Amino acid sequence: MSTDAPAPRRFLIVCPARSGSTLLVRTLRTHPRLRVHGEVYGQPMVGLDAPLAALDPPALAALEALRFTDPAAALARFFAPHGAEAAGFKLKYEELVQPAWAPVLARLQADHALHVVFLERRDLLARYVSHQIVLRQTGITHVPAGQPVPAIAPFAVDVDDLLRDIAETRRRAAHFAQVFAAQPSLRIAYEDLAADPQASCDRIAGFLGVAPAPVRVATEKIVRQPPQALLLNYPEIAAALAAVAG
């Protein structure tokens, strides 16, 4: 009888921007049996987990270049477990649609052993507001746990732009569900993750075949007011959303 341990599992976190992916990545990273990278296909590449996080600048630049020159080798680096039982990274819709990463997407789609965690946000208005706050006011996407969060001033948004954003987010969610239809998948909602991070991380651990372990939240919630308290033209927005839903 073989006593070989199972091969470490490869996984992706697929999501739109401002869906809690940094919260999820950094919280999962506190699980002792997981290796979880951030935006390895961002420009620039950010959020590497150990040991890649310790690369010196020349080695980091070489890894960034490898993503273009040898996609298979770069993926092997990002999926390397380094003693963990599962290793993966996040890919946002905004990265998945980039022509530069088409060879990467093709390789991931062909990997039927790859496990895919779809991270979604039920409240797409709140997602849009969060994104606009980053673009217009704070310029930051996360705050480490225990650090102060920036103040946010009320503002107005373009209703047509909001409606386009919601429609495009839904379209991309449906599209990438089809792209990864052959892979084992799990859906996690940001609202559930924010309410009970441990429960959501336990679900992901189970999905990956890893024993659950205590995790700790590694980021602060930046936007703590609901859209109706932040949007100066909220009545107009509510009416437009009702008309679309209607």
Q: For the chain, 246 residues long, give each residue's pLDDT as a single digit of tens.
A: 444 567 899 999 999 999 999 999 999 999 999 999 999 999 889 999 999 999 999 999 999 999 999 999 999 999 999 999 999 999 999 999 999 999 999 999 999 999 999 999 999 999 999 999 999 999 988 888 899 999 999 999 999 999 999 999 999 999 999 999 999 999 999 999 999 999 999 999 999 999 999 999 988 888 989 999 999 999 999 999 999 886
Give residue limits of the domains in the chain.
9-245
Secondary structure letter of residue 122 according to DSSP: S
What's the CA gap between 130 and 152, in Å, rounded? 10
28-42 per-residue burial string, b: 16 or more CB within 10 A, e: under 16? bbbbebbbbbbbbbe
pLDDT digits (tens, 9 = 90+) for 120-133: 999 999 999 999 99
Sheet strands (E) in 58-190? 86-92, 115-120, 143-144, 185-189
Residue closest to 189 by CA, chosen among 177, 205, 173, 200: 200
CB 35 within 8 A of CB 139: no
pLDDT digits (tens, 9 = 90+) for 72-121: 999 999 999 999 999 999 999 999 999 999 999 999 999 999 999 999 99
- Provide the CATH number for the domain formed by 9-245 in this structure: 3.40.50
**Structure-derived torsion over alpha carbons of residues 231, 237, 241, 244, reported in degrees to the nearest 10:** -150
Q: How many CA atoms lie within 13 A of 175 on its CB side?
A: 14
Residue closest to 79 by CA, chosen among 39, 35, 45, 113: 35
